[in-house]
A and B are shown apart, each in its own frame.
Chain A
Amino acid sequence: MWAYIIRRILYAIPILIGVNLLTFLLFFVVNTPQDMAVVHLGDRYVTQEAIDRWIVTNGYDKPTFYNPKAQGIDKISDTLFYQQSMRLFTFNFGTSDTGREIGHDISERMWPSLALAIPSLLLGLGLNVMLALLMVLFRGTQIDTWGVTICVALMSISGLFFIITGQYVLAKLFKWVPISGYESGLSAIKFLALPVLVSVIAGIGSGVRWYRTLFLEEINKDYVRTARAKGLSDIAILFKHVLKNALIPILTGVVVLIPSLFLGSLLLESFFAIPGLGSYTIDAIRAQDFAIVRSMVFLGSVLYILGLLLTDISYTLVDPRVRLN
C-alpha cells in the first residue's frame, strides 16, 4: 500500500505544477501587474511613476518564465512564475499584497471553517443516512412517496432561502440564537447552532435521495434475501447489513469532502459572519490579490488530491477485498 501512496503523491506533482501554471496564466491574462498596481494604489492621485515603483517593489518586474539575462539555473528561477508559484510546493505562501503572511492567515481562518463544516458534515451525514434508511424501510408506501417529493422540493430551493428563512425565523422572530457572529471555544456553539442547522437542512434533499438510491440498490441483492429468509427483521437488515455494504459509495462521497472542509463555505460564512476561509479567496479575487488566489487554488488542489487518496485508502478499511497495489 505504501508504494501505491508514494506513487500517487508523485503523480500529484505534475498535476500541481499544471494547476499552478494555469492559475498563473489565467490571472495574468486578465490582470496585468499594471492593473494590480492601480488597484492597490487607488486611482485618485496615482502616477505612472508610482505604478512602476509598485511593480518593482512587489517583484512583478521580473521576466515571466525565462530570464535571458540571468546565469545558469537563475534563468528559470529568477522569473515571475518561479518566484511566485514554485515556492508553494514547500507550503511557503509568502505575503499578500497588503503585507500579511498568507500562511498565518490560513492557519487562523481554517479553524472557524472547520468548526462549522465538521458538525454540519457529521450531523448531515447521520440524518441523511437515517432518513434514507427509513424511506427504504417504508418503500412503496405513501411515506416513501411523500419523502421523495419533499426531497425534490428541498433540492429545488436555493441555499440562500434556507439561510434567510433560518435567520428570520429562529434569530429574528423567536430570538433563540444570535443572527450572526462568532466566538472561539465553547462560546462558538450558540453562533454555530443556526448555520449548522441550515447547512444540514439544505443538504437533506440531495443527500437523502442519493443515499436512498444506494440503499435501494443494495436491498435487492442476494444477501438481503438470504437475511430475510433467515428471519431477520427489516430494521436489522437495513441498519446492520445494507448500511455496512453501502458504505463504499458513501465513503466515496464523504472522504473526498473531508480535506476540502478546511476551505469553508462562502455563503454560510458570509451570512453568519464566521471568519473562515470561505470568503478568503473571493475577497482576494475582488481585491486582485494574486498571492492569496494562487495560494488558495494550490491548497485546494492539494486537498482535493489528498481527498481522493484518502478515499482509496478508506476502501481497504471498509472492504477487505480491496487491495491497493
Chain B
Amino acid sequence: MILYSISTAYNRGILSLFLGLSLCCAGCDEIWNDPNPANQTNEVIMYTDFSERPKFLDPAKSYAAAESRFIGQIYEPPLQYHYLLRPYQLEPLLATQMPSMSYYDAHNVLLAENAEPTQIAYTVYEITIKPGVLYQNHPAFSKNAQGEFLYHQLSQQQLHHVQEINDFPIQQTREVTADDFAYQIKRLAQPALNSPILGLMSKHIVGLDEFSQILFADFNHLPEKMREMGYMDLRPYTFPGVEVVDKYTYRIKVIGKYPQFPYWLAMNFFAPMPWEAEQFYAQEGLIKKNIILDWYPVGTGPYVLAVNNPNRQMVLARNPNFRAEYYPTEGMPEDVDVGLLAPAGKRLPFLDKIVFNLEKESIPRWTKFLQGYYDLSSVGSDNFQQAMVINNNSASLAPELKNKGIKVYSTISESIFYWGFNMLDPVVGGYEDKNRALRQALAIAMDTEEFIAIFLNEQGIAAQGPIPPGIEGYQSGKEGVNPYVYTWKDNQPLRLPLEHARELLAQAGYPDGRDAQTGEQLVLHYDVITTGDPVEKARFAWMQKQLNKLNIDLNIRATDTNRFREKMSTGYAQIFSWGWSADYPDPENFLFLLYGPNSRVGTEGVNSANYQNPVYDKLYEQLQNLDAGPQKDQIITQMLAIIRADSPWVWGFYPQAYSLAQVWNGALKPNEVASNTYKYYTIDAQTRATLRKQWNRPILWPLLLAVLGMLLLCLPMAVVYWRKNKQVHHLRVKEE
C-alpha cells in the first residue's frame, strides 16, 4: 500500500513535470539547441569554426593558415591580392600604389629598368603608405594630458583589475607611419621572436643576416629578466636593408633582382607594428596574465580581436578606426552572373562580427552547419558522403543540401602532394638512364587517379608536374601532359600501359622486378610518418599494391615525426610522401622545390628529394630574375621537360577543396592565397534567424515516451516487491 502510494505520488510528480515542461515549451517559440546567445539572433555576425588553436598571432612569427584566418583580418601589409581577379593579382592595401623598383649595380649606380639581371646588385623597393591610417584603439597608445603613457609602467594596483586587454578603461590610437613598417622588418631579426622567414629573408634583404647576429649578441647580454620576457627595444637599431625616407615612405633594399619580393609584401610579416605595443606588453604582470602581443594583436585592419579564448572562442569585431575601403568594382566576367559584383563600391567590411568556435570533432561541426549555426563549412572526408554525390567521376551537391539552398564552391589548391625519391639513394636515386627508367616505371605504376578516387573522393587532379593550375607555367591540354607517364587520347591524358613500365624496369636492370645480376626480387622502402589513422593502413596497402603490379616488394618503414625528419635530413629515406602549399602564386615557389642548392641533406632546404641537375639549376637562377612573360614561360617549359625526364617525384596530385555556404550568405569567391577576405563577405541575418527557427524546433514526443518507459520499468519492480513482501508476510503468519 505504502509502495503504491509512493509510486503513485512519484508518477504524478513526473507527469506534472512533463506536462508543465511541455506546456512551457508549447507556449514559447524558442529553440533549445542554439549554441549562440539569444540576443545575437538578428546581428550581422558570421559564425564559423576553427579546429586547431592558433599558436602565434604575432605577425613576425605566424606562418600557419590556421593563424592567418585571424590575423589576416587584423594586420594589414602594404599589398594584398585582388579579391576577384584571376590569375591572382597584387594591389595596394596600406600602400598608396604598387612599390616602385630601382635597380643598382655593385657601385650603387642606378641602372635602367631593363638592365641585365647579372648587372643588378641591389633592387630598392620604395613604398609610400596611405596617410591617416589609424591603429585600433589600444592601451599601448593611451597618454595623459602631459603626453606620458598611462599604462607602460603598470603598478600592482592597476594590474589587479586587469584580466584582459579590454579591462583598460582608456584606449587611444595613433596614425601609422613608415617607421612602424621598418620596425616590423627589424622584428624579423629579433632573436626571441624566432621568425620563421628570417633564414629566407636574410638571403634577400641587404644586411638582415648581419643585423640578426648583432641583435642575437646584444640579446645574450640583456639581464635575465629581459631575456625571459623576450623584449628588445629595436628603435635605436638600424641596418642597410631598410630606410625610412619620410613619415609615409620607406625603402627596402633587396639583394640582386628578386621579382617575387612584392608577394612577400602582401604577407603579414610586413604589416606595421607600433613600438608602443611591444613596450606595453613587456611588463611582467601582463605576461603572467597571458596578455602578450602574441595573443592580443594591435592592427589597422577591418576587425579587432574582441574575444581571445583559443580554448573556446575567438571573436573578431568591427574596428571603429578602420579607414574607408570599398568593395572592388572590377571582376571576372563570370563574377557578374553570380552576384559577386552586386556590392561593388560599397564600404567594407559588411559583417559586424565574426565568431570562430573551437570544434575539434567533425560530427558536431557538421551537425551545427546543418542546423544553421555555422554559416560556412568545408567538405572533408568525414562529411563528404553526406554533402556530395559523385556521378561520372564528378561531384555535385547532395539533393538534401540543394533543397536547403546551400551553395557549393570548388577550388584547386595552390599546392601539390607528391611521392618523392631520395636522389642520393643507391637504388632509386642517380641520374643514369637506368636510374631514370626505374623511377619512370614506378611513376607509371603508381596510379594517382585511383588514389584520388579511393582516398580523396575524387577531390583532386592528377599532377603532370610541380606547378598547379592557376599558376603561370601550368599548361592544360595535350601540351601540359607528362609524356613519361601519360599519353594523350580522346582529349584527355591516359596513363601509359603497365607493359611500358615493365620494359622500363627491364632497362633499369630489374626484368620482372628482379635484379638481373642476382635474381633477387627488388625491395623498395617507403619512409612515412605514422599517425595511427585507420586510413593509413589502407594507404600503405594501396602503395604496396601499386608496386606489386611490377612484381616489386614495398617495405613500409613507418616512424614518428622526429625520426622521419632525421631520416630526411641525413638522406636515409628512400621513397617518401611530401606536400607543398604555395607562399605566393608564382612558379618560382614550386620550381625551387627541386633547385640543387635547396637540398634537404646538408642545407635543410625545401628540396626534399635532394635533386641536383646543373642545367635545371642554371635555368632556375635565370627564372628567379625574370618578370612574367614569354621568356619566363619558355624557361619553365624547359625546366619541366628536364624534371619530367628525371622523375625525382611521382608527381602526385593537386588537391581540390569544396566548401559550402548557407543560403543566407552573399556571393563569395574562394581565394587560395589571400587570408583577408572576410571583409568582403555578407550575411542576411533576418533570413538566417527565420530558417534557424524552422530547422530547429524541438521534438517533444520522445519526452513523453521516456517517462512512460520509466514507469513501465518500475512496474515489474513493484510487482516483484509486492510478491516478496506477501511471501514474507505468509511465513511470519505461519511462524506465529
B-contacting residues of A (Cβ < 8 Å)? 30-32, 35, 38-50, 53-54, 56-57, 95, 98-101, 103-105, 108-109, 134, 137-138, 141-143, 164, 167-168, 171-183, 187, 190-191, 234, 270-273, 275, 279, 283, 287
Q: Is the CB of B290 within 8 A of A273?
A: no
Nearest CB of B to A227, in Å: 14
In the complex, A115 Cα to B309 Cα: how many Å?
A: 18
In the complex, A175 Cα to B194 Cα: how many Å?
A: 48
Cβ-Cβ contact count across A and B, 8 Å cutoff: 158
Q: Is the CB of A271 within 8 A of B364?
A: yes
Contact of B363 among A41, A143, A164 (CB under 8 A): A164
In the complex, A178 Cα to B288 Cα: how many Å?
A: 34
Return the 9 tightest CB-CB contacts between A and B, nearest first: A275-B311, A47-B199, A180-B364, A181-B35, A178-B35, A275-B312, A45-B200, A35-B562, A179-B364
B140-165 contacts to A (CB < 8 Å): none
Q: Chain A residues with Cβ under 8 A from B31's Cβ?
A: 175
Known contacts being A164-B363, A271-B363, A275-B309, is A171 close to B194, with CB within 8 Å? no
Known contacts being A143-B716, A270-B360, is A100 close to B199, with CB within 8 Å? no
Q: Chain B residues with Cβ under 8 A from A38's Cβ?
A: 565
Contact of A44 among B33, B63, B294, B358 (CB under 8 A): B63
Contact of A137 among B696, B702, B721 (CB under 8 A): B721
**Residue of A whose beta carbon sits closest to that of B53:** A283
Contact of B32 among A45, A101, A190, A272 (CB under 8 A): A190
Q: Chain B residues with Cβ under 8 A from A168's Cβ?
A: 363
A53-B194, A99-B230 given; 10 more Cβ-contact pairs under 8 Å: A43-B604, A44-B606, A45-B196, A57-B219, A95-B287, A176-B698, A179-B35, A270-B360, A273-B364, A275-B311
Nearest CB of A to B330, in Å: 33
Known contacts being A105-B290, A271-B361, is A57 close to B53, with CB within 8 Å? no
Is B289 in contact with chain A by the CB < 8 A criterion? yes
Q: Is the CB of B196 within 8 A of A174?
A: no
Q: Is the CB of A109 within 8 A of B199?
A: no
Which of under 10, 10 to 19, 20 to 34, or 35 or more describes the interface residues of B?
Answer: 35 or more
Q: Chain B residues with Cβ under 8 A from A105's Cβ?
A: 290, 311
**Residue of B whose beta carbon sits closest to that of A137:** B721
Q: Chain B residues with Cβ under 8 A from A57's Cβ?
A: 191-192, 194, 219, 227, 230
Q: Is the CB of B312 within 8 A of A273?
A: yes
Q: Chain B residues with Cβ under 8 A from A56's Cβ?
A: 191, 220
Is B512 in contact with chain A by the CB < 8 A criterion? no
What are 11 A-B contacts with C-beta separation under 8 Å? A31-B562, A42-B63, A47-B199, A137-B721, A138-B721, A142-B720, A175-B699, A178-B373, A179-B364, A270-B360, A271-B364
Nearest CB of B to A140, in Å: 10
Q: Chain B residues with Cβ under 8 A from A53's Cβ?
A: 191, 194, 216
Is B89 in contact with chain A by the CB < 8 A criterion? no
Contact of B312 among A47, A48, A99, A182 (CB under 8 A): A182
Q: Chain A residues with Cβ under 8 A from B697's Cβ?
A: 175
In the complex, A31 Cα to B565 Cα: how many Å?
A: 12
Q: Is the CB of A108 within 8 A of B311?
A: yes
B44-81 contacts to A (CB < 8 Å): 53, 55-56, 63-64
Is B295 in contact with chain A by the CB < 8 A criterion? yes
Is B105 in contact with chain A by the CB < 8 A criterion? no
Q: Chain A residues with Cβ under 8 A from B323's Cβ?
A: none
Is B541 in contact with chain A by the CB < 8 A criterion? no
Known contacts being A174-B698, A177-B33, A275-B311, is A98 close to B56, with CB within 8 Å? yes
Q: Is the CB of A270 within 8 A of B361?
A: yes
Is B642 in contact with chain A by the CB < 8 A criterion? no
**Residue of A whose beta carbon sits closest to that of B220:** A56
In the complex, per-residue mask of B337-371: 1 if CB is within 8 Å of any chain A CB, else 0: 00000000000000000000111110110011011
B702-720 contacts to A (CB < 8 Å): 702, 716-717, 720
Known contacts being A44-B606, A182-B312, is A101 close to B289, with CB within 8 Å? yes
Q: Is the CB of A180 within 8 A of B294?
A: no
Is B34 in contact with chain A by the CB < 8 A criterion? yes
Q: Chain B residues with Cβ under 8 A from A275's Cβ?
A: 309, 311-312, 358
Q: Is the CB of A171 within 8 A of B33?
A: yes
Q: Is the CB of B360 within 8 A of A273?
A: yes
Nearest CB of B to A110, in Å: 11
In the complex, A244 Cα to B639 Cα: how many Å?
A: 83
**Residue of A whose beta carbon sits closest to that of B358:** A273
Pick the most buried of B37, B198, B219, B603: most chain A CB atoms within 10 A of its CB.
B198
Q: Is the CB of B32 within 8 A of A177?
A: yes
In the complex, A54 Cα to B562 Cα: how many Å?
A: 17
Q: Chain A residues with Cβ under 8 A from B196's Cβ?
A: 41-42, 44-46, 50
Nearest CB of A to B622, in Å: 22
In the complex, per-residue mask of B190-204: 1 if CB is within 8 Å of any chain A CB, else 0: 011010111110000
Contact of B720 among A143, A270, A279, A287 (CB under 8 A): A143
Is B490 in contact with chain A by the CB < 8 A criterion? no
Q: Chain B residues with Cβ under 8 A from A171's Cβ?
A: 33, 364, 367
Is B735 in contact with chain A by the CB < 8 A criterion? no
In the complex, A99 Cα to B309 Cα: how many Å?
A: 15
Known contacts being A57-B192, A109-B311, is A47 close to B32, with CB within 8 Å? no
Q: Chain B residues with Cβ under 8 A from A182's Cβ?
A: 312
Q: Is the CB of A50 within 8 A of B32?
A: no
Known contacts being A54-B194, A167-B363, is A43 close to B63, with CB within 8 Å? no
In the complex, A230 Cα to B724 Cα: how many Å?
A: 18
Q: Is the CB of A30 within 8 A of B55?
A: no
Nearest CB of A to B9, in Å: 16
Q: Is the CB of A175 within 8 A of B32?
A: yes
Q: Is the CB of B357 within 8 A of A273?
A: yes
Is B736 in contact with chain A by the CB < 8 A criterion? no
Is B29 in contact with chain A by the CB < 8 A criterion? no
Q: Is the CB of B33 within 8 A of A175?
A: yes
**Residue of B whose beta carbon sits closest to that of A171:** B33
In the complex, per-residue mask of B109-126: 1 if CB is within 8 Å of any chain A CB, else 0: 000000000000000000
